[in-house]
C-alpha cells in the first residue's frame, strides 16, 4: 500500500480496518467527540522527562495516561509529575513496555528510549494499533529503518520522528532556509555542509568501539545502582544489545540529571554524533535537497587524519562525503560532514549560499558558484564574509533544544527580511509548515493526515547518519542505492546493515 505524504486521509473506520487487517492484536480505539488522545510515555530519562513530557502535557487534545520505564524509581517520579500537573491520580505506571502495547485504552506512544530499542517498539506499537512519536535518530541500523518504514505503510498508523528542527516554533529559520533553497533562489544546489562533532576530540562524528565502562578506572563506582534495576531490569534495558556489566553512566540510576552520552557513542547501542546532532543537521540537508524519498548514490571515504584518541579506535572524526543526484537535472550534489562551527547546515548554489543553525541564519546572493574549500568554510564563520553579497544575517543567541525560549529580535528581523525579499509567502513551492513537532503529531492523530516527519522521512534521515557512521567505522566508501536503501554497483562492499543477533527481540513487520 502506498501512503500519499500530503493526503493521508484515513477516516476512523478505514484506519481501524487498516490497522486491524494485518495483525492479530488490536485496532484503533474509538473515541467520543472531544475525548483526548491517551498517550503513553515509554522511556522517561532526561530527554523523555524534560524535553518531551512537558510538550505532551501542553497539548489540549491529548492526555498523558501511562508512564513506562524499566527503572521503577524513574517511572514513579514521572507518574507523580503527571498527576500533579493534572491534579488527579489517573496516570499509572509500568516497567515493561509490552504492558503499554496491550493496553486498549492507549491511543499513541512516545518512545524516548536509547536508539537500540526504537525500531522494535515502533513496529510492535503500530501492530497493536498505536500511533507513534519516536525520538531521533529513528533507528539504530539501516535494516531497522527499512522495517519501520514498511510497518507504517502496512499498518497505516500516524507516525512522527522527533526531528524538531523541522517544526521550529518561534521564527522558522530552518523552514525559511529550505524554502529559499528548494525554490532555486540561490540557483542550482551543488554542495551542502552538515557540521557536527569535534574533530580529534573524545566526542567526534562516529561512535566508538564497544567498551564496558565509560571510565574503566572507575568501574566500581560506575557499578553503583545495579540493585535498583536488578537482573531483569538490566536485561530489559539492554534488550537487543549484547550483554555487558551494568554502568550507571550507560543507564543512569533513578531520576538522572545529565544526558548519558556513553551509550550514544557505543557501537552496540548508539551512533555517536552522527546520530545525535547529525540527525538534526543531516535532516535539514535532506529536506533542502528534496531527498525525503531518496538518498545518496555514492559514499566517499574521508581523507582526514585518523584519530589518536584511544576511545575512537583510530577512526577518522569528520570529512566523509556523499553524492546525490539532483531531481532537477540529474547533476551531482555533494554533501560533506564537517565539525561543529557557527553553522549547522550550509547550502551552496550556483548563485548564492544559505547557512542556518539554531537561532542563526545568513543568506548571500549573487556570489556565483562558490566551491566550499577549507578557506571558504573558515570565512563563513564570520558573517562579514562577502559582506556586499549578504541579503540578511543574524547570529543571535543559540536557544538550544528549547524551541519555546526567547529568540533574539535580530533573528526574527533577518527571517522577516528574507521572507519579504524572496517573496516566500507566494513562492511556487511551499514546504510543509509545522509550529511544533509534538503538536503536529497530536493534530495528525486526530485528522489522520501525514506528519511533517513520518517514518520514511525519519528513516531516511537516520540512514544518512548511519551511512556516515559506517564509512568511518569501516574506513571505506561504496556505491549506494538511495531508493532501495541498499548497496549498489559491482564495487559495493557488503557491510552489515543490521544486527546479526537481536537476543530474541527480532523485528518482524
Cβ-contact 335, 194 below 8 angstroms: yes
User: Distance (Å, rounded) from C-alpha 298 to C-alpha 234?
Assistant: 40
Cβ-contact 370, 376 below 8 angstroms: yes
- Cell (9 digits) for 90: 489517573
Cβ-contact 359, 350 below 8 angstroms: no
Q: pLDDT at position 389, please?
A: 97
Read off the pLDDT band of 7 (50, 70, 90). very low
Closest C-alpha among 256, 278, 280, 254 to residue 265: 278
What average pLDDT does range 241-261 have in this prediction?
94
Percent of the chain with pLDDT over 90: 84
For the chain, what is the mean pLDDT? 91
Residue written as grid cell 493521508? 8
Q: pLDDT at position 145, please?
A: 98
Q: pLDDT at position 403, please?
A: 52
Please give the helix or strand (H or E) that residue 65 lies within, else none. strand 62-68
Structure letter (DSSP) for residue 405: S
User: Distance (Å, rounded) from C-alpha 44 to C-alpha 100?
Assistant: 14
Cβ-contact 189, 347 below 8 angstroms: yes
What average pLDDT does range 181-196 have in this prediction?
98
Closest C-alpha among 255, 270, 226, 277 to residue 46: 255
Structure letter (DSSP) for residue 487: E
pLDDT in tens, 150-161: 999 999 999 999
6: pLDDT strictly greater than 80: no
Q: pLDDT at position 11, please?
A: 28
- Among the ranges given (159-163, 211-215, 288-292), the one the predictor scored with the smallest mean pLDDT: 211-215
Which residues on neighbouring strands pair with residue 321, listed in sequence order? 300, 336
Instruction: Give burial (CB, 10 Å; 0-12/13-18/19+) of 92.
Output: middle
pLDDT in tens, 9-57: 222 323 332 333 333 344 567 888 889 999 999 999 999 999 999 999 9
**Distance between the two ends of the chain, CA-based, in angstroms?**
14
Q: In this predicted model, which residue has the larger pLDDT, 409 or 290?
A: 290
- Among the ranges given (19-28, 199-208, 212-221, 269-278), the one the predictor scored with the smallest mean pLDDT: 19-28
Q: Among 82-91, 219-228, 249-258, 407-416, name the most confident range.
A: 82-91
Read off the pLDDT band of 489 (50, 70, 90). confident
433: pLDDT strictly greater than 90: yes
Structure letter (DSSP) for residue 307: P
The 3-state DSSP class for residue 70 equals coil
- Secondary structure of 213-246 in the HEC alphabet? CCCHHHHHHHCCCHHHHHHHHHHHHHCCCCCCCC
201: pLDDT strictly greater than 90: no
Beta carbons within 8 Å of 100's beta carbon, 6+ residues apart: 40, 42, 66, 68, 94, 106, 109, 125
Q: pLDDT at position 4, please?
A: 42
- Among the ranges given (23-32, 138-147, 417-426), the one the predictor scored with the smallest mean pLDDT: 23-32
Is the Cα dihedral 2, 8, 13, 16 positive or negative?
positive
What average pLDDT does range 252-279 have in this prediction?
94
Q: pLDDT at position 17, please?
A: 28
Torsion over CA of 139, 142, 145 and 149, rounded to 10 degrees? 170
- E strands of 293-437, at which residues? 298-300, 321-325, 332-338, 345-349, 352-357, 360-365, 390-395
Which residues on neighbouring strands pair with residue 193, listed in sequence order? 336, 346
69: left (phi over 0), alpha (psi -120 to 50) or beta: beta
The 3-state DSSP class for residue 373 equals coil
CB atoms within 10 A of CB 33: 4
pTM of the model: 0.93
- E strands of 430-501, at which residues? 478-481, 486-487
Rg from Cα positions in the chain: 22
Closest C-alpha among 310, 285, 116 to residue 204: 310
Beta carbons within 8 Å of 32's beta carbon, 6+ residues apart: none
Closest C-alpha among 234, 180, 147, 141 to residue 348: 180
The overall longest dimension of the chain from CA atoms, in Å, is 64
- Among the ranges given (166-175, 383-392, 463-472, 493-502), the one the predictor scored with the smallest mean pLDDT: 166-175
* DSSP class per residue in 9-55: ---HHHHHHHHHHT-SS--PPP--TTPPEEEEEE--SHIIIIIIHHH
pLDDT in tens, 300-320: 999 999 999 888 999 999 999
Read off the pLDDT band of 494 (50, 70, 90). confident
Cβ-contact 342, 357 below 8 angstroms: yes
Beta carbons within 8 Å of 504's beta carbon, 6+ residues apart: none
Q: pLDDT at position 397, please?
A: 61
Q: pLDDT at position 233, please?
A: 95
492: pLDDT strictly greater than 70: no
Let me know how long the chain is.
509
Amino acid at each position: 500500500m502506498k501512503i500519499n505524504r500530503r493526503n493521508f486521509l484515513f477516516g476512523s473506520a478505514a484506519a481501524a480496518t487498516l490497522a486491524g487487517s494485518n495483525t492479530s492484536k488490536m485496532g484503533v480505539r474509538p473515541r467520543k467527540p472531544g475525548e483526548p488522545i491517551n498517550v503513553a510515555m515509554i522511556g522517561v530519562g532526561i530527554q523523555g522527562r524534560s524535553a518531551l513530557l512537558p510538550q505532551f502535557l501542553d497539548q489540549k487534545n491529548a492526555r498523558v495516561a501511562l508512564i513506562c520505564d524499566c527503572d521503577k524509581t524513574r517511572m514513579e517520579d514521572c507518574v507523580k509529575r503527571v498527576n500533579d500537573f493534572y491534579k488527579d491520580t489517573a496516570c499509572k505506571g509500568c516497567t515493561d513496555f509490552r504492558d503499554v502495547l496491550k493496553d486498549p485504552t492507549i491511543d499513541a506512544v512516545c518512545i524516548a528510549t536509547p536508539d537500540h530499542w526504537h525500531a522494535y517498539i515502533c513496529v510492535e506499537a503500530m501492530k497493536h494499533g498505536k500511533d507513534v512519536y519516536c525520538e531521533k535518530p529513528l533507528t539504530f541500523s539501516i535494516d531497522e529503518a527499512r522495517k519501520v518504514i514498511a510497518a507504517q505503510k502496512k499498518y497505516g498508523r500516524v507516525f512522527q520522528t522527533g526531528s524538531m528542527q523541522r517544526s521550529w516554533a518561534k521564527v522558522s529559520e530552518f523552514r525559511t532556509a529550505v524554502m529559499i533553497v528548494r525554490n532555486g533562489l540561490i540557483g542550482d544546489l551543488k554542495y551542502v555542509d552538515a557540521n557536527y562533532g569535534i574533530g580529534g576530540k573524545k566526542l567526534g562524528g562516529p561512535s566508538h568501539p564497544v567498551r564496558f565502562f565509560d571510565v574503566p578506572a572507575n568501574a566500581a563506582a560506575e557499578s553503583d545502582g545495579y540493585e535498583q534495576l536488578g537482573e531483569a531490569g538490566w536485561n530489559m534495558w539492554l534488550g537487543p544489545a549484547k550483554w555487558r556489566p551494568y554502568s550507571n553512566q550507560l543507564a543512569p540510576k533513578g531520576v538522572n540529571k545529565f544526558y548519558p552520552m556513553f551509550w550514544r557513542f557505543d557501537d552496540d547501542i548508539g551512533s555517536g554524533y552522527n546520530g545525535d546532532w547529525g540527525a538534526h543537521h543531516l535532516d535539514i540537508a535532506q529536506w533542502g535537497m528534496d531527498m525525503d524519498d531518496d538518498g545518496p548514490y555514492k559514499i566517499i571515504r574521508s581523507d582526514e587524519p585518523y584519530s589518536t584518541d584511544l576511545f575512537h579506535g583510530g577512526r577518522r572524526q569528520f570529512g566523509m562525503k556523499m553524492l546525490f543526484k539532483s531531481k532537477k537535472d540529474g547533476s551531482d550534489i555533494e554533501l560533506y560532514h564537517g565539525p561543529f562551527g557557527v553553522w549547522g547546515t550550509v547550502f551552496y548554489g550556483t548563485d548564492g549560499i544559505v547557512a542556518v543553525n539554531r537561532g542563526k541564519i545568513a543568506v548571500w546572493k549573487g556570489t556565483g558558484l562558490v566551491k566550499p574549500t577549507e578557506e571558504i568554510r573558515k570565512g563563513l564563520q564570520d558573517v562579514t564574509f562577502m559582506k556586499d553579497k549578504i541579503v540578511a544575517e543574524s547570529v543571535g543567541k543559540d536557544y538550544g533544544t528549547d524551541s519555546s525560549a526567547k529568540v533574539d529580535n535580530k533573528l526574527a528581523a533577518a527571517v522577516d527580511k528574507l521572507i519579504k525579499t524572496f517573496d516566500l509567502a507566494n513562492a511556487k513551492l511551499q514546504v510543509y509548515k509545522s509550529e511544533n513537532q509534538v503538536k503536529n503529531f497530536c493534530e495528525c492523530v486526530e485528522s489522520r493526515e501525514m506528519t511533517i516527519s513520518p517514518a520514511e522521512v525519519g528513516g531516511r534521515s537516520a540512514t544518512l547518519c548511519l551511512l556516515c557512521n559506517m564509512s568511518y567505522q569501516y574506513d571505506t566508501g561504496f556505491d549506494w542505492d538511495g531508493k532501495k536503501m541498499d548497496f549498489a554497483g559491482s564495487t559495493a562492499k557488503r557491510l552489515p546493515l543490521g544486527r546479526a543477533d537481536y537476543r530474541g527481540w527480532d523485528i518482524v513487520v
